[in-house]
A and B are shown apart, each in its own frame.
Chain A
Amino acid sequence: MIIEIIILPMKYRLLFISAFLAFYLVSSVSAQETDQKNVSDNAALHRKLDSLTTKVDSILMDQYDIKKDTTKDGLLIHNAIAIKASSLGLGFESILSVHAKINIRLSLSYFKISGAEQFYSETVEYDLTHENIIGGAYIFVDYQFHKFFHATAGIIYRVDKESGSAHPVSGITIGGIEIPAEVIGNISYAIEKNAFAPYLGIGIGRSISLKKKISFSADFGVYYTKALKVDINATGMLTPTASDLNKNQIINNVDVSGFWPYGSIQLSYRIF
């Protein structure tokens, strides 16, 4: 395992280490919670824990001047919305604080780049259009293990689509033959990397401020993805270009399988 990590490129090594740290932090918290759960059978300890939780909440509320909106289960309920910029596009987020240290976040992001240009080969002038769409839907759970840091785990449904098309502007003369544009044909391709991807990361700041309306936070982590779908369509003389051989070549070229970095910054507004 260590050897595998060492032989990874620097990019992956950094990502792996950061992911590992994030995972370790979350695991530590989970372990503490698990321990507490194990002793919860003990009524006395359970009562002590409730008392402790109440005390913690009380301290937090005193420290941060939080209104007493504690539920009957002792949880803190806050809700905020956020705008964010991430490596998967621009989007917005709804944040629900279910505990003083635990937030659940639902996000959507989207980004699109498109363009058109003309391409001149030796014989054919092509109109090229291309479009890149990235985005995703996320469910993140934050654990605020420090005043300024939180660990995050979640699922990203990643949307990543790249497409392009080319069609000849006009006919050509090859040898002694004039070939109309429609006979030459068009070609288009689409690469879809849509997939559910598990995410682990660490964050800076709070997605919901406990004492202010506006808060800033940032997330850095990794997600794992492997799915890839390639389609090529071609018409006219170019029809055989849409071959399985070429699809496999694109899959080899893109090769999305593996860990990919994720980062985001966001500004949140606490509604209540």
Chain B
Amino acid sequence: MKNKTGMIRLFKISLLIVLIISGLNSCEKSKDVLEGIKVTIDWDVIWSKLNFIFKDANTGALIGGDNYQQVTVRVSGESKDAIIDISGIQKEYYQSSNGFMTLGLNPNVDSGSLLSNPARFNIIAHADGFMPMSQNLTISEQGTYNITVFMASVENPPEGVSIKTSENIGMVNDGFLQEEITLKTSGEEACIIIPAGLKIVDEHGENLEGSLDIRLAYYDNKNDGSLATFPGGLISRLEKYGAVGDGTFFPAGLVSIEIFDQSGKKARYFEQQALQLVLSIPSGTYNPETQSEVKAGDEIPVQSYDPESGIWKYHQTTNVSVGKRGDLEVSTWISHLSWWSFDWFEGNYCDTGVELIFKGDFGECNQITIDGIIRKKVDGTFLRYISLNVSEDSTIHITNAPNGLPVYIEWLLTQNCSDCFTDPAFNPLYIDDLCAFNTYEVPLVCFKPGTTSVTIDVTGYCSENPDLVIRPSSGIWFRPIDTFCWRYSTMENGYAAICDVERGSTYVLGTYFDNIWYEWQITIQEQEIYPLELDFTDKICSELF
């Protein structure tokens, strides 16, 4: 009995010890196995990226490239809800930084149906000291699009743009203008006559009061600088008699009229009477309807631009007459303020046009950016700026192309930025119809004076969440530290190839997320991979991660 009791006690003690030991062993497991683990995510959910570069149409410099000026952008149009910041945040207003802005097409919209149902939208850009600018865009296939937006500086406009600003003129009481105001641009290319008794209201129907600030801008139809700032682009959409059609403008002239009262209220509509607009037409202007130079008696349609829809609206047709100075001019009466143009609208356009295949040398990374200007063959005037990311075996389609219009592409030699450019024998490249099912091969040549390529490895962090690592995807731009010649590269899940760079040289690199420009400097050494850190803003971190 005594032995039995002793055995039971021994069993209990042993069991206790085994349990203690098991507990000690479980101490190993009770440590947080996953402590310190970095949850790392590939932030590559946007498949169609829109890289905007905002440039001064006169100097070609980035707007905000050497200061902190930002371009404020609003998106409008039928697909505006599909446009988001490259970070994934959707906003009412987007802002450029350092002259760059990257938006994207919401992947929930960006499906395989783009070809049959393209995303159509407009961006309306505003920047202090610059005329507003609008750009119509159509995305019909997934990809990365480089879009250069040229804006006309008020103080230093591009050739062909004449801007007249008058402040504290006239007097408005209860919305009614008390005296007639006449305003002309410096070269008398455009003239507005605002009759006394005209009632001026803003877009909400509220009266303007007090003295007025008026800005009248004239854009000619000859110079690249003025045509590049044509609202919505020359390849655009026109509503006529309730039907919307696609086509190409042959402009005779364009004006922008902005009127503000003392309180900053912006005029939108005129009541009781109308404002008279007189525009001179440059000699040599091509009339596609007569297929000859414009002359007195020719008819010119008059259109106004609706930046909300990105669609021009036909109002009336006016006749060309001989002005007091002996030049040709047109005149019309307008009942609201916007951009007004006198131009012919021809043909259709196609969302996806001819195919370009680039052959030859693509540099160290087998990818370069080629810039060019599409010009009308008939008069050599500017039609559109293009910027193409090309690589070997890739096929590029010209998008938003005018139908049936003979053009040529003038390739811009960018050897200051890149060592690769198009073969001079193919510059310009003549194309009879940008919408034809044709393929054009464009040879490329490169000079490689001892360049190399490296990889950058960008890791994104949120300061509030140190256990989260983000591998971002966006565009990366880089330039030598001593020039402002930016080149483009694609960053996917944190990795980007920086190509055709010189060892020992220092480069500035930057990328854009949600209004912020993130910039680094690296000096190219022997190493192949350069780790970079990106501290996302609290706003991005709180809204996304």
Which residues, 123 to 144 on A, are CB-close (under 8 Å) to B? 132
Q: Which of the four size classes fits the interface of chain B?
A: 35 or more
State how many angstroms separate the Cβ of A117 from the closest Cβ of chain B.
15
Residue of B nearest to A243 (CB): B40
Q: List 6 A-B contacts (CB under 8 A).
A: A218-B11, A240-B41, A241-B38, A253-B33, A254-B31, A262-B21
Q: Are A177 and B106 in contact (CB under 8 A)?
A: yes
> Beta-carbon contacts of B16-27 to A below 8 Å, as 1s and 0s?
011011101101
On chain B, the residues within 8 Å of A231 by CB distance are none
Chain B 74-96: CB-based contact to A (< 8 A → 1; otherwise 0): 00000000001101111000000
B441 at interface, CB cutoff 8 A: no
* Contact B40–A177 (Cβ < 8 Å): no
CB-CB under 8 A for A253 and B35, given A87-B21, A176-B84, A216-B11:
yes
8 Å CB interface, B8-52 against A: 10-11, 14-15, 17-18, 20-22, 24-25, 27-29, 31-46
With a CB–CB cut-off of 8 A, which chain A residues contact B108?
Answer: 177-178
Q: Is the CB of A87 within 8 A of B471?
A: no
Interface residues of A (CB under 8 A from B): 11, 85-87, 132, 162, 174-179, 183, 189, 191, 204-205, 216, 218, 220, 237-241, 243, 245-246, 249-250, 252-254, 256, 260-265
| Given A256-B28, A263-B21, A177:B33 Cβ within 8 A | no
CA distance A256 to B28 in the complex (A): 8
Q: Tell me the complex Cα distance, A216–B11, Å.
A: 8
Q: Point out the residue from A132, A162, A240, A261 that lies within 8 Å of B40, measured CB to CB.
A: A240
**Apart from A175-B90, A264-B18: 18 A-B pairs, beta carbons within 8 A:** A87-B21, A87-B22, A175-B85, A175-B88, A175-B543, A176-B90, A177-B46, A189-B34, A220-B18, A240-B493, A241-B38, A241-B40, A243-B40, A249-B36, A250-B33, A253-B32, A260-B25, A262-B21
- Most chain A CB within 10 A, of B27, B32, B40, is at B40
**A132 and B90 in contact (CB under 8 A), knowing A245-B38, A250-B37, A253-B36?**
no
Contact status B89-A220, CB under 8 Å: no
B471: contacting residue among A240, A246, A262, CB under 8 A: A240
What's the minimum C-beta distance from B11 to chain A, rounded to whole angstroms? 6
Give the shortest distance, in Å, between B531 (CB) and chain A (any CB): 12
Give the residues in chain A near B40, CB-CB below 8 Å.
238, 240-241, 243, 246
Q: Is the CB of A241 within 8 A of B14?
A: no
CA distance A130 to B35 in the complex (A): 16
Distance in angstroms from B32 CB to nearest chain A CB is: 7
Nearest B residue to A222, CB-CB = B21
Residues of B with C-beta under 8 A to A174: 45, 88, 544-545
The answer to whether A175 touches B33, judged by C-beta atoms less than 8 angstroms apart, is no
Q: How far is the CB of A222 from chain B (nearest CB, A)?
A: 10
